Structure 1
Amino acid sequence: MIRILALLLCLWPSLSLADRLKDIVDVAGVRSNPLVGYGLVVGLSGSGDGNLGLTRQSLQSIMSRLGLEVNANDLDAKNVAAVMVTAELPPFLKPGQVLDVTVSTSGKAKSLQGGMLLMTPLMGADGEVYAIAQGSLVVGGLGVEGGDGSSVVVNIPTVGRIPRGATVERMVDTAFLESEYFVLNLGRPDFSTAGMVADAINGQFGEGVAVALDGSSVRVRAPADPGARVPFMGMLEQIEVEPAQPPAQVVVNSRTGTVVIGGTVRVTPTAISHGTLTVRVNENFDVAQGATVVNGENGNVVVPGEPVVLPDTEIDVAEETNPAFVFDPGVSLSSLVDAINAVGVSASDLVSILEALHSIGALRAELIII
């Protein structure tokens, strides 16, 4: 069954709702930063990397920094796993604050259940250390292996998390307190919406405070007093703007049969007829007794022969006829949906109809097939 989701976007003004700026824009430079590090998880119950060379070398390096002299070949890493540690450093987070980290195996370890991450530096894209991670893992998966080689795995036991497992050591510098302007970036670029955002800000704080730079960004003059910037940004976020109508689009998922049609889609005068041709072939066989006629002294004699198999083929051709339906000028979304539902087409047939409409220019929308 084909599922058609009609998104009635701005069809009726009474249904249009304004959005807060904090829901549709981001402040340039105010973002989180990814962190990554390499470390070791110890305390595993035999589910570690075993004799993996990388893990044994890493374990030897840690022991050497602790004042122990050991040979990597003498170490057994069956209870140790080499892991990659990742985290997201939110903006404005100060040294001493904490954040969550995710730990994932990078070697042959089969499970991190019960393990503890040793102190691991987390670096940013610039190679500087911004946080230090350490702590016991919380693993949602489970893996069990029997002596005969059979195993059962539930969820993903090779990935775990450490809530509040990293401490921030360095703050990411931002220009929030020094920049002369704030730049607001729209989540969905649109020239009309950018102009509306600038007009709404100027209507609240005065003409010339905001200028739309392009279809994605709006520049806002920031207060000179650093102490007034946070309250000013708080007021900016609460300003309500009614976004412009989105571009006309039709999205078709050919695998699931889901069709999403935007509320601004229009169809020019078009006639469509959809029919189905069915050819059915039935192959039967008739068996007849063979016979041979022999001329003898007493006349003709019929001698039974081998059975004869005669093919009997039946071909039935049927074509389902559906009446054509016509789209008048400027047909709206509701009429398009009703017409498609009335035809009762399959997912593949619907994609063909929409592609044909788009090819002749009758579908005034961008057709996206995923």
Structure 2
Amino acid sequence: MSKTFIRRWQTWLRNGAAALLCLGLAAPVAAERIKDLATIQGVRSNPLIGYGLVVGLDGTGDQVRQTPFTQQSLTNMLSQLGVTVPQGTNMQVRNVAAVMVTATLPAFAQPGQTVDVVVSAMGNAKSLRGGTLLMTPLKGANGQVYAIAQGNILVGGAGAEAGGSSVQVNQLNGGIISNGAVVERSVPTTFARDGIIRLELNHTDFGATQSVVAALNRRFGPGTAMSSDARVVQLRAPLEPAAQSAFLSQVENVDVRLPPARAKVVINARTGTVVMNRTVTIDEAAIAYGNLSVVISRGMDVDQPDTPFGGGQTVVTPTTDIEMRSDQGSLQHISTSANLSDVVRALNALGATPQDLLAILQNLKSAGALRADLEIV
């Protein structure tokens, strides 16, 4: 066997092993259910809102003089219950608070079902702890009443006050009532027209849309699904309503192998948080950075006369010292990265703080070395 053949055989083995190693280290393609990727067009919830009164507070309600709408609401409620309040009466109640009540009416909700409600103080009440929400109609955007809310409020905060000192944990001016609203009217939900059902993906992505279409056609046959754009997928479903529900239950559990996500870096400038996905890469670049700090210190100098009886006065004079410090910066080299671990390793090699990374990533993006979308929140 010739030496040339042996060298070629060894070279082939090294290249083959390297290729197998790369395949083994490659990140697996994630498979997700359509239920987690998309929603059905037409199947949606509706927000509800209402205005009501909370009673039974332990002296922590609205100050009526500063919140006249609370007194007006209380007078109107009492008149509906057959109690007449003389005109011009200035009620000084501290156990009542005006609140806004919000809830969400889920899709397919029927009369008699219950939903959770959130109660929030509208006036200057100190706390809603221990209060009871009186019957409050909840309306939709069209002004129609869809639910009635009432019940005891659960407040997650706690507070105490005595002798001019106070302590508070969490929020006291808001709470929830579990199953506190009863649905009075349903909202018609139509999700299929002439056997066509539309799926709306949670994110706009042509590749993800085509992956969903391919997975559905493999599961239910060619022609079952087709994409309208980068977000909507049309499905050919049975015409019978009962068959449509069974069909959608199978559609939601179909697994889809998604393509790699778009490279993106999210920066929170307030907290200094930097988050990036695994498709982010950095081209070869050189970075120089340094820290510049200015220290300002203030003090007081006392000047006294030289002789005790010389007629002089003791004078206090303020002094201010300003010092500028500059950390020595150096030019750092970053090589081209192929995956997220290389990016993290390159940025950590700089020894920069998270606040420094904000400026470094912005400058890399401006220089064209950062292969990702940069979003600052």
Do they superpose with TM above 0.5?
yes
1:254–1:347 Cα contact (<8 Å) kept = no
1:272–1:326 Cα contact (<8 Å) kept = yes
Once residues 258 and 154 of structure 2 are traced to their aligned partners in structure 1, the CA distance between those partners, rounded to angstroms, is: 43
Once residues 142 and 319 of structure 1 are traced to their aligned partners in structure 2, the CA distance between those partners, rounded to angstroms, is: 47
Whether 1:78 aligns to 2:94 is yes
Amino acid at match of 1:365: A
Once residues 41 and 133 of structure 2 are traced to their aligned partners in structure 1, the CA distance between those partners, rounded to angstroms, is: 35
Number of equivalences: 325
Whether 1:121 aligns to 2:129 is no
1:322–1:343 Cα contact (<8 Å) kept = no
Structure 1 pair 109–179 and aligned structure 2 pair: CA distance change class (3 A) = farther
Task: Give 1:141's aligned residue.
Answer: 157
Task: Give 2:335's aligned residue.
Answer: 327
Superposed CA deviations along residues 277-308 of structure 1, whole A, max 9, x for unmatched, are 88999xxxxxxxxxxxxxxxxxxxxxxxxxxx
1:142–1:157 Cα contact (<8 Å) kept = yes
Which residues of structure 2 form unaligned runs of 5+? Answer: 1-22, 296-322
- Give me the TM-score of the superposition, normalised by structure 1: 0.79
Structure 1 pair 72–117 and aligned structure 2 pair: CA distance change class (3 A) = farther
Task: Give 2:368's aligned residue.
Answer: 361
Structure 1 pair 152–252 and aligned structure 2 pair: CA distance change class (3 A) = closer
Whether 1:344 aligns to 2:355 is no
Tell which has more relative contact order, 1 or 2 (C-alpha 8 A, sep 6+): 1
Once residues 137 and 153 of structure 2 are traced to their aligned partners in structure 1, the CA distance between those partners, rounded to angstroms, is: 17
Whether 1:91 aligns to 2:107 is yes
Once residues 280 and 123 of structure 1 are traced to their aligned partners in structure 2, the CA distance between those partners, rounded to angstroms, is: 57
- Structure 1 residue 39, shift from structure 2 partner: 0.6
Whether 1:153 aligns to 2:199 is no
Which residues of structure 1 form unaligned runs of 5+? Answer: 1-9, 282-314
Task: Give 2:180's aligned residue.
Answer: 165
Match of 1:36 among 20, 38, 49: 49
2:41–2:191 Cα contact (<8 Å) kept = no
Once residues 287 and 262 of structure 2 are traced to their aligned partners in structure 1, the CA distance between those partners, rounded to angstroms, is: 28
Task: Give 1:312's aligned residue.
Answer: none
Once residues 167 and 39 of structure 2 are traced to their aligned partners in structure 1, the CA distance between those partners, rounded to angstroms, is: 45
- Structure 1 residue 176, shift from structure 2 partner: 2.8
Structure 1 pair 221–11 and aligned structure 2 pair: CA distance change class (3 A) = farther
Superposed CA deviations along residues 210-252 of structure 1, whole A, max 9, x for unmatched, are 1111111111122101111111111000000012211112223
- Give me the TM-score of the superposition, normalised by structure 2: 0.78
1:11–1:263 Cα contact (<8 Å) kept = no
Superposed CA deviations along residues 2-31 of structure 1, whole A, max 9, x for unmatched, are xxxxxxxx9955532200000111111212
Moved segments of 4+, more than 6 Å: 277-281, 315-319
Amino acid at match of 1:191: F
Identity %: 46
- Structure 1 residue 367, shift from structure 2 partner: 2.1
Which structure has the greater CA radius of gyration? 1
Structure 1 pair 162–193 and aligned structure 2 pair: CA distance change class (3 A) = same
Structure 1 pair 121–365 and aligned structure 2 pair: CA distance change class (3 A) = same
Superposed CA deviations along residues 26-82 of structure 1, whole A, max 9, x for unmatched, are 111212111110011112222212323211111111121122222364333321111
Match of 1:15 among 15, 28, 32: 28
Amino acid at match of 1:208: G
| SS of residue paired to 1:274 | strand
Match of 1:25 among 27, 34, 38: 38
Once residues 320 and 115 of structure 1 are traced to their aligned partners in structure 2, the CA distance between those partners, rounded to angstroms, is: 62
2:274–2:358 Cα contact (<8 Å) kept = no
Match of 2:286 among 263, 272, 287: 272
Match of 1:105 among 107, 121, 127: 121
Superposed CA deviations along residues 98-122 of structure 1, whole A, max 9, x for unmatched, are 1111111111221112211111000
RMSD over aligned Cα, in angstroms? 2.9
2:198–2:235 Cα contact (<8 Å) kept = yes
